[in-house]
Structure 1
Amino acid sequence: MASLTNHIQLFSAVLVSAAVLFGGYSNTARAAEETTAAIGPVFPVASDVRIAGDDKQTRFILDLDKKIPIRAFALADPYRVVVDLPQVTFRLDSGAGTAARGLIKAFRYGLVMPGGSRIVFDLNGPAKIKSAYALDPANGQPARLVVELESVDRATFDQALAADGRSELRPAIETTAVVTRAAAPNSAPDTRPVVVIDPGHGGIDNGTQAGTETEKSLVLSFGLALRDRIEKAGKYRVVMTRTDDTFIPLNDRVKIGRNQSAALFVSIHADALPRGEGDAQGATIYTLSDRASDAEAERLADSENKADAIGGVNLTEEPTDVADILIDLAQRETRTFSNHLARLLVGEMKNTARMHKHPLKSAGFRVLKAPDVPSVLIELGYVSNKADLQQLVSESWRSKTVGAIAQAIDAFFARRVVSAVPAN
């Protein structure tokens, strides 16, 4: 993505140079600049998509309103092809990406970082990128992005992967954005406890979905409301893992908590049962455990832990856990605090929200694995349940439930402060 940044910087420099060459900043140029600043940048628009071919060769075509630079590469286990491009406004049909054709099982698209979008193809088997290019508009046809795939065996696929020589296959997010309120100039250090709020999914990763309602949007709205409620009290400093529709890899979410020396990490999600597996309802609070508390908890953890694969992150490059006795001791203490918070959350939320029949569960969620940060994952409800979904989109319900969570956080810190004061 460094090349993408260079393209954007070069494009900006060209615009400035053009303004100087053609008479400096004219009134028209200045007015255009002010308008752009007011409405935000105008991104290229993707308007249509087509897939052609068979299980030997498959071509993907995306119509755009302008030519853009692209970068394509393959990933294994599972087989995927990733196309990185500048930030694009996707105006495709709602069902785009769900139908299989040729070598492409399905594809998804969306934002992976500010200024950068991504398309990820799930493949039916090993395939090489025969070509990937962008075309200028010509003969009444729009600009196009074209990716041509060709079926190969595993050995050929591995050779192509090695020949690519790419030492870093994760999304080109140079530094993970930490979203917090700016401190006043020359102000004293903020020593308040740090609470990290982590709205799940985002960008290319929609999470669960019911009609037009996506988990990533529902939990972002809830997370922002929770941030505002906590900040209003002024007791804690709040850090968000995301404040917009951006994809954040799981490991980077954990790093945000650790880098900020967080006293608490709260991940917000909404569940859904797979079609044909019955119905379930109510909120659930999850804590970390090596062994899932039940089959449903294990299913959910497996699903949530695939977020990086959905976004095109190469999971083989994730660091292995350090098996150290000090880490183990820290994790035990952290899990004790996490379990305490989970019980407080259930106690408060049951007064405002419908709770699952077994509201306290545990499983191996990667996003909860910081060894020194008490962490919980709140599943607000099931988007697959009509009654739960009706609550999830209700501002009244959101306000009451946000208040309950804020009260539980207050009770959690009050208990820790009291326990930290030695008895006379």
Structure 2
Amino acid sequence: MVGPGFPIATDARLAGDNRQTRFVLDLDKTVPFRAFLLSDPYRVVVDLPQVSFHLPTGAGTAGRGLVKAFRYGLVMPGGSRIVFDLTGPARIANSTVLDAANGQPPRLVIELEEADEATFARAVGADSRMQAKPADSGPAGVPAIAAQGGLPPALRPPSTTVAVAAPPAGGPADSRPVVVIDPGHGGIDYGTQGGEVPEKNLVLAFGQALRDRLERSGKYRVVMTRDDDTFIPLGDRVKIAQKQSAALFVSIHADALPRGEGNAQGATIYTLSDKASDVEAEKLAEAENRADQIGGVNLTEEPADVADILFDLARRETRTFSNRFARLLMNDMKTAVHMHKRPLKSAGFRVLKAPDVPSVLVELGYVSNKGDMGNLVSDTWRSRTADAMARAIDAFLAKRVATVGGDKPEKPAAPRAKP
């Protein structure tokens, strides 16, 4: 849907060659924006107020000149982003918004020129000293995304903001365990695509189904890292779980194999490990860990406490809890859904790195497999799988629920400071 007052982008195109490339975005009204460069890999990022992108199908998948490809979407309620993947170092020679004139609509124009490494590095350094955030927000709400039109209602991004549950103000403290559900990807990060429905929509629909199932029991306070089509950086997802003192963090994804690499099928459950359990797990973790680069997050602004967090990841107690839940989850899920031939794996997923929150990442299936994709868009399959996962969560948190208001519930201890 189109929010009231949101600017609408109707077309986008590239022109030029490997020395000079121009990007033009047609809009229905002028907008403020900010454009900046990022390195490793070479990228140009354009931040805008929230925009409803009604671009032609496939827009951005084919590059030209200095641009390999570009992607676009919501990065937070009120803010949209366009990210250009470059073929090499370049500089922003000109960037402007043109008013409507001579029968042409308002246009955002970005002109790029080939540059040497030193010029590019100086430009990135100047940009990194500025706070990288979207331009001034427009009205609140969530725009329709490109190619969204014919999706089933359950797979359309709802018009809500990111949900972070909180106890009622002024009432007694809510002592129920907190379960954080983390639908992967979102906004500008589409995830894998095995057809008309991108991964970000599939996993959001499932995450909402699991949330609803857990909330009906009344046993837990459920927090969603995202409840709409918003991009959430990986580190922020982890921080949500820590801020909420979560008893459990469940990240939801859907995998895919490139063409020519077989036809894997079934659900897989991952826990954190410094060393991947196999090559496929390692490749998947590398792909998922690139989400911040896909979204154009400036990774040079990593918090100073990262070193201490990484040190604390080795804490055996939290990993023991995570592995225990993964086994419970596998046993319940295999009674309801088809599991991968190796259903339990491990790798270095950034989103699992909360040092004091038991965490798993569930790949519901392979969007590259016709059978799995059919399941992922099925309301019946979604409900059955959410029920199985809820049973595992019940079993894992049974002691915590039983001891609310009594003995201290079972939970990993807070990590000790680095010596």
- TM-score where L is the length of structure 2: 0.87
Contact (CA 8 Å) 2:79, 2:134: kept in 1 or not? Answer: no
State the percentage of identical aligned residues: 68
What residue identity is the alignment partner of 1:308?
Answer: D
Residue aligned with 2:246, SS: coil
What residue identity is the alignment partner of 1:83?
Answer: V
Q: How far does residue 161 in structure 1 lie from its aligned partner after superposition? A: 2.4
Residue deviations 1:171-224, cap 9 Å, x none? 6899xx862446445321101111000000000000001221110000000001
CA distance, structure 2, for counterparts of residue 57 and residue 326 of structure 1: 46
CA distance, structure 2, for counterparts of residue 41 and residue 87 of structure 1: 11
Matches for 1:23-422 after TM superposition, within 5 Å? 40-164=3-127, 166-169=129-132, 179-181=163-165, 183-319=167-303, 321-323=306-308, 327=312, 331-415=315-399
CA distance, structure 2, for counterparts of residue 328 and residue 364 of structure 1: 10
Residue deviations 1:47-84, cap 9 Å, x none? 11110001100000011111111110000111000000
Contact (CA 8 Å) 2:2, 2:52: kept in 1 or not? Answer: no
What residue identity is the alignment partner of 1:240?
Answer: M
Contact (CA 8 Å) 2:96, 2:110: kept in 1 or not? Answer: yes
CA distance, structure 2, for counterparts of residue 324 and residue 262 of structure 1: 17
Question: Larger radius of gyration, structure 1 or 2?
Answer: 1
Q: How far does residue 332 in structure 1 lie from its aligned partner after superposition? A: 1.1
What residue identity is the alignment partner of 1:248?
Answer: I
CA distance, structure 2, for counterparts of residue 344 and residue 220 of structure 1: 23
Cα–Cα, structure 1 residues 379 and 85, in superposed 2: closer, same or farther, change >3 Å?
same
CA distance, structure 2, for counterparts of residue 388 and residue 380 of structure 1: 8
Cα–Cα, structure 1 residues 171 and 313, in superposed 2: closer, same or farther, change >3 Å?
farther
Q: How far does residue 273 in structure 1 lie from its aligned partner after superposition? A: 0.5
What residue identity is the alignment partner of 1:110?
Answer: G
CA distance, structure 2, for counterparts of residue 104 and residue 229 of structure 1: 44
Contact (CA 8 Å) 2:271, 2:323: kept in 1 or not? Answer: yes
What residue identity is the alignment partner of 1:327?
Answer: D
Cα–Cα, structure 1 residues 125 and 115, in superposed 2: closer, same or farther, change >3 Å?
same
Higher helix share: 1
Cα–Cα, structure 1 residues 87 and 197, in superposed 2: closer, same or farther, change >3 Å?
same
CA distance, structure 1, for counterparts of residue 86 and residue 77 of structure 2: 27
Higher alpha-carbon deviation: 314-323 or 265-274: 314-323
What residue identity is the alignment partner of 2:386?
Answer: V
- TM-score where L is the length of structure 1: 0.86
Contact (CA 8 Å) 1:170, 1:314: kept in 2 or not? Answer: no
Q: How far does residue 316 in structure 1 lie from its aligned partner after superposition? A: 2.6
Cα–Cα, structure 1 residues 114 and 315, in superposed 2: closer, same or farther, change >3 Å?
same
Q: How far does residue 323 in structure 1 lie from its aligned partner after superposition? A: 4.7
What residue identity is the alignment partner of 1:149?
Answer: L
CA distance, structure 2, for counterparts of residue 316 and residue 243 of structure 1: 28
Q: How far does residue 168 in structure 1 lie from its aligned partner after superposition? A: 3.2
Residue deviations 1:18-37, cap 9 Å, x none? xxxxxxxxxxxxxxxxxxxx
CA distance, structure 1, for counterparts of residue 89 and residue 382 of structure 2: 45
CA distance, structure 2, for counterparts of residue 379 and residue 334 of structure 1: 21
CA distance, structure 1, for counterparts of residue 235 and residue 133 of structure 2: 11
Cα–Cα, structure 1 residues 346 and 328, in superposed 2: closer, same or farther, change >3 Å?
closer
CA distance, structure 2, for counterparts of residue 185 and residue 152 of structure 1: 55
Cα–Cα, structure 1 residues 391 and 42, in superposed 2: closer, same or farther, change >3 Å?
same
CA distance, structure 1, for counterparts of residue 239 and residue 313 of structure 2: 18
Q: What RMSD, in angstroms, separates the aligned Cα atoms of the two structures?
A: 2.3
Q: Gaps spanning 5+ residues in structure 1: where?
A: 1-37
Cα–Cα, structure 1 residues 326 and 414, in superposed 2: closer, same or farther, change >3 Å?
farther
Contact (CA 8 Å) 1:68, 1:85: kept in 2 or not? Answer: yes
Cα–Cα, structure 1 residues 381 and 164, in superposed 2: closer, same or farther, change >3 Å?
closer
Residue deviations 1:126-147, cap 9 Å, x none? 0010111111111100110100
Contact (CA 8 Å) 2:49, 2:134: kept in 1 or not? Answer: no
